[in-house]
Structure 1
Amino acid sequence: MIARRTLALCAALTVSLGLAGPAAATGRPLRIVGAQADTALTQRWQDFGRRPGVGWAAADGTYSTRLPSGLVAWLFNDTFFGPVRADDSLPESAPFTHNSAVLSTSDAKHLLTTIAPGPPGHPQSLVGPTPQSPGAPNDHWYWNGDGIVDGGKLRVIEFEQAPTDGPPPFNFAWTRTKLATLDPFTFRLEKLAEVPSAGGVQWGTELMRDGAWTYIYGVEGDGFTKYLHLARAPLGRLDGPWQFRTATGWTGDPAASARLLGNVGSSFGVTPVGGEYLLTTFDSGLTSTIHAYHAPSPAGPFTGGETVYTAPEAGNGRYTYNVAAHPEISRPGHLVISYNTNSEKLADLYANIDNNRPRFVDLQLSR
């Protein structure tokens, strides 16, 4: 657990750098004029995972949000802990949790510390049970969705999972969703509450603050067909009640939520930039191409779908998934996004844990 005084000291080192996109809408549509692998940021996470004593070695998830301290919290899911060997391999006895966090400076140029409760060498999940090993799951566990500071608290969406009889590595299923409330300085869990699950929508793959509202994007569907849904809550009231977007307006009934876009990934980013809303996502299923959609409002309509980047890591048993957007660390006229990498064989991760570290892409924006 990191102390408040330590966080305050780290915050003094930060420099505010948010996303300042192109000038407000001028009638010309926003364009993505370039997309390049952000090798410096990717390397920073690789170096962090190899650094002795930091704990975090690799993970998926990779959501980010700015904290009241000015630091950025990076929210991860299945997390491997070091120490990492010189060849990037891990012993099979390495600790493992279902969720964790890492703190960085506001521009992510300095990755500071791993947040995972428990004594040294025995990390615990931030929320929910801790497994004995990746191959020995609990009867349920939680994977982080997006997180945001709301009402002075760090609110993190938690997707409850349970094991299934399917073949590894996809032998799990979502069962319900909860909202975790954590102290934004100590990361102490204060509350874990139910959120709506009617209609089979996993709410909270993206949380976006815009105007007087926090918008809550969700995903409906299993396997290779997934649809985007939208809910909203007044600022400071993410703990409910929510309103749900229908084909014609808003309702308090989650089962009436409408499908706003099809063929989205299990995670995606929606970012207000230049008077528009930019959605970045993989297709449904496990694919290697990232697409961008544009909308005049948080509820759409989302149009475009142009391919902006192809992940080179996919293939030969490895796969890519889960796009997230990071406006907190993006330069003016740019948007940093990330995606996760993984392997169909757990042994591949132990042999080279870099197979499970996030990758970053820098999108250049113009009109």
Structure 2
Amino acid sequence: MKKITLVCLACLGLVLTNRAFAQKADTVNLTDIKFKAEAAPEWSALLKRDSGWFGGDGIYTIPLNGKETGQAKHNDKVLFIFSDSMIGAVRDNTMAPGAIMIHNAVAELKGNEPLDKQMKFYWDKNAKGKPESIFIPHTPKTGATDYYWLGDGFVNQALDNNIYIFGYRVHNVSNEAFGFREVGNTLIKIPANSKPPYKDLKQMDTPFYLVDEKGESGSFGAGIYVNTKEAGAPKPDGYIYVYGVRGVAKHLMVARVLPKDFEDYSKWTFYDGKAWVSDMEQVANVTSSVSNELSFSPLPDGRYALIFQVGGMTTSVGMRIGASPVGPFGPIIKLWDCKPDLIAKTFVVYNAKAHPSLSKPGELLISYNINSVDFLNDLKKYPNLYRPRFIRVKFNEHE
């Protein structure tokens, strides 16, 4: 009888949760918001460098104190994680001989200001002393030529303050600028207080890579929202929400898990459009036209902002207003046109996202990546092209 009662209570809780989501769809304004977007040149300049790390993409930021919502304080540290990165030097307005690309690197910024003296970059070295990626796949499912494209990460305060970062296992299929394909999803675990290059990290294969009946693939880890009191969430429910993207249409998927169960994949559930289910294959597309890297953040007025590059690689930084971590989501609101940054026809822009720990109250600091389809040739002419640019979006709920 006790077991039946518990099951009924769980079902009742699920029904009430779904009713709450439905009510939000009827009462929350998902279309209108007052904002002002402007360039943030001081942050863009922080990553315009002439030696060491001088270019990269895939930027995510992780506040090392675990406070995901709200601006970092003066003595806090924020971890930047980059995917493909250039290590070397820029001299006489060109890339100096000897520069090398590695597949990932990190940096730590002390405080919340874009001060070069407060930021330090890190990468590993191989046996010959040459620059090497910090994160290299070493899991049972890793192929001989696999490397990591990094997803989002966070500090899990329920599991000894370990840092967890999603790593997409990819391998090259051509020599073109974006000639790679994802083949699996991995979780990287960095012990608290570990220092780069994190020689004590652990890696775990996950089941969170999927291929549908049409042959379109998807993966979780594009964005993480830690909806806990400890992380500073304004309306905490105790869960970690992990966002995934799949297909050419860039559909958004949502999973969630309690922080203490993060490594127990059997405890993860997936939103099927009405309820949370344990079968990942039943996960719903809650919206579309997002990018493979994105962010989900609370807004000052109680709504939420899903930030992304519209369609993945267009020139528009977009936002959809959300009523809850699973939506419903409103139409695309275009925040910024990146065309002025595309000074050559071969330049492309992609993967916008917000950085709440670097954002002032009432604002979102947003980055987007610049790259080229003629990468090496353009890098010789424009050695600082390959780096994130930043904008600042100010929200005013009183105007």
What TM-score bracket applies, with the shorter chain setting the length?
0.7 to 0.9
- Give how far 1:110 is off: 2.7
Q: How does 1:62-73 map to 2 (within 5 A)?
A: 62-68=59-65, 70-73=76-79
Deviation at 1:129, TM superposition (A): 6.3
**Residue 160 of structure 1 pairs with residue 177 of structure 2:** no
Matched with 2:188 is 180
- The answer on whether the counterparts of 1:32 and 1:363 sit within 8 Å (CA) in structure 2 is no
Q: How does 1:243-262 map to 2 (within 5 A)?
A: 243-262=269-288
Give the 3-state SS of the residue equivalent to 1:205 in structure 2.
Answer: strand
SS state at 1:342 partner:
strand
Cα distance in 2 for partners of 1:82, 1:108 equals 25
Shift of 1:86: 3.8
Asked if the contact 2:36/2:395 (under 8 Å) is kept, the reply is: yes
Residue 239 (structure 1) shift: 2.0
Cα gap change, 1:79 to 1:32, in 2 (>3 Å): farther
Q: Are the structure 2 counterparts of residues 92 and 252 from structure 1 closer, same or farther at C-alpha, using a change threshold of 3 Å?
A: farther
**Structure 1 residues 106 and 208: CA distance shift in structure 2, 3 A:** farther
Question: For 1:27 and 1:355, how far apart are their aligned partners in 2?
Answer: 40
> 2:173 is aligned with what amino acid?
T
1:292, CA displacement in angstroms?
1.2
Partner residue, 1:231: 255
Distance 1:318 1:145, change over 3 A: same
Q: The residue matched to 1:198 in structure 2 has which SS? A: strand
Question: For the residues of structure 1 that align with 2:192 and 2:89, how far apart are their CA atoms?
Answer: 27
SS of residue paired to 1:298: coil
- Residues 28 and 323, structure 2, Cα contact 8 Å, conserved in 1: no
Q: Encode CA deviations 1:263-315: one digit per residue, 9 max, x unaligned.
A: 11222111112211101112224210111111110000010311110002235
Q: 1:288 is aligned with what amino acid?
A: T
1:106 is displaced (CA, Å) by 2.6
Among 335, 338, 344, the alignment partner of 2:373 is: 344
The 3-state SS of whatever aligns with 1:266 is coil
CA contact (8 A) 1:92 1:350 kept: no
2:112 equivalent to 1:107:
yes
Could you give the per-residue CA deviations for residues 330-357 of structure 1, whole angstroms, max 9, x where no partner exists?
1011100100000111221233221101
Does the CA contact (< 8 Å) of 1:197 and 1:254 recur in 2?
A: no
Shift in alpha-carbon separation, 1:129–1:273, aligned structure 2, 3 A: same
Query: How far apart in 2 are the matches of 1:168 and 1:108?
Result: 36
Per the TM alignment, residue 70 of structure 1 is displaced from its structure 2 partner at its CA by 2.4
- Taking the aligned partners of 1:257 and 1:77, their CA distance within structure 2 comes to 27
Structure-1 separation of matches of 2:154 and 2:180: 26
| Match in the other structure for 2:245 | 219
Shifted more, 144-153 versus 280-289: the winner is: 280-289
Q: Tell me how far apart the structure 1 counterparts of residues 168 and 137 of structure 2 sit (CA, whole Å).
A: 13
SS of residue in 1 equivalent to 2:243? strand
Instruction: State the match for 1:310 in structure 2.
Output: 337
AA aligned to 1:163 is: N
Correspondences of 1:39-118 after superposition (within 5 Å):
39-46=41-48, 49-50=49-50, 52=51, 55-68=52-65, 70-87=76-93, 89-111=94-116, 112-118=119-125
- 192, 214, 218: which is aligned to 2:203? 192
User: Cα offset for 1:123?
Assistant: 2.1
Letter in 2 for 1:72: V
Matched letter for residue 290 of structure 1: V
> How far apart, CA to CA, are the structure 2 residues paired with 1:352 and 1:146?
28
How many angstroms does 1:32 deviate by? 4.0
Q: Which AA in structure 2 matches 1:204? A: G
Gap runs ≥5 in structure 2: 1-26, 66-74, 139-143, 212-216, 228-235
1:277 to 288, 291, 304: 304
- Tell whether 2:363 aligns with 1:334: yes
Q: TM-score, normalised by structure 1?
A: 0.83
SS in 2 for 1:262: coil
- SS of the residue corresponding to residue 95 of structure 2 reads coil
What letter matches 1:258 in structure 2?
A: A
C-alpha separation in 2, matches of 1:90 and 1:102: 21
CA distance in 2, matches of 1:250, 1:237: 16
Give the Cα–Cα distance (whole angstroms) in 2 for the partners of residues 357 and 217 of structure 1.
Answer: 24
Aligned counterpart for 1:297 among listed residues 324, 341, 352: 324
Report the Cα distance in structure 2 between the residues aligned to 1:333 and 1:140, rounded to whole angstroms.
41
Q: Which residue of 1 aligns with 2:18?
A: none
Count of aligned pairs: 326
Q: 1:144 deviation in Å?
A: 0.8
Q: 4+ runs of 1 displaced by more than 4 Å? A: 26-30
Aligned-pair distance for 1:198?
A: 2.8
Q: Per chain length, whose mean CA-contact separation is higher, i.e. which structure has more relative contact order (CA < 8 Å, sep 6+)?
A: 1
AA aligned to 1:337 is I
Instruction: Quote how far apart the aligned CAs of 1:36 are.
Output: 0.5
Against the structure 1 CA distance between its residues 71 and 236, is the aligned structure 2 distance closer, same or farther, given a 3 Å change threshold?
A: farther
Residues 313 and 319 in structure 1, CA contact (< 8 A), matched pair in contact too: no
Q: Percent identity?
A: 25
